[in-house]
Structure 1
């Protein structure tokens, strides 16, 4: 296996060295009014448990990386960019993000038990809000409402949903 760089050792550059990471989280975004996914973001984790945001990928790269990166998989990745993380949105702590592009090389390798599958670092809303500047609302969408119904009352007074 090629030598690789730990995520904590990344700096702003064109990432030519390999990183060995697990895709620990992923999510897709849609622009308001769009019917299609317009961006995709990953959280990648290395063997020390360091997490970095990868992306967001824009529409033209999503299909390509859906084939290359699978949730929970471990990969050796090279030819990426390292940029400063935006001040207004950081799903994980850290000053850098990794940006993939068309020339990014992804090689899936066998699962490596020393890379954590999940890691969460909880923050209070006050801590999260402190990094958002003028944004005044925080929200987390857990599910999407697709149907509603009325509550019915039976003759015996029992309520039920039809």
Structure 2
């Protein structure tokens, strides 16, 4: 998450291919959705950014995340998890999510427990299982021709 993430460091700091890069997941029943976004640096190739981004996902398969990286992710997840349940409305939405998605209100905090118990090996196993060419969709959004001339 953020500027210290592997993807951001590689695409923004190390290669200069992107202005920003980030990823995230939506915790839904099935299929789960993970997304990654990179905004291409002017003058750089979208295809080069795509290759670099895919290479970082391939790296997750080859090299387990470090304990430090995983702990940082867990800390950020815990922070976001707690912050998203501050109001009564947010708490009710959280309980409704458990009922609708899992059919059981008792699972309301199950996702938190699962995430906090993850190991570097779990991350690598999931990457090997789901980060495959068959499950990948690449969407490239480009400006209209001449769009840069319209903005002054």
Report TM bin, short chain: under 0.3
TM-score normalised to structure 1 length: 0.22
Larger Rg: 1
Structure number with higher helix proportion = 2
TM-score normalised to structure 2 length: 0.23
Structure number with higher strand proportion = 1
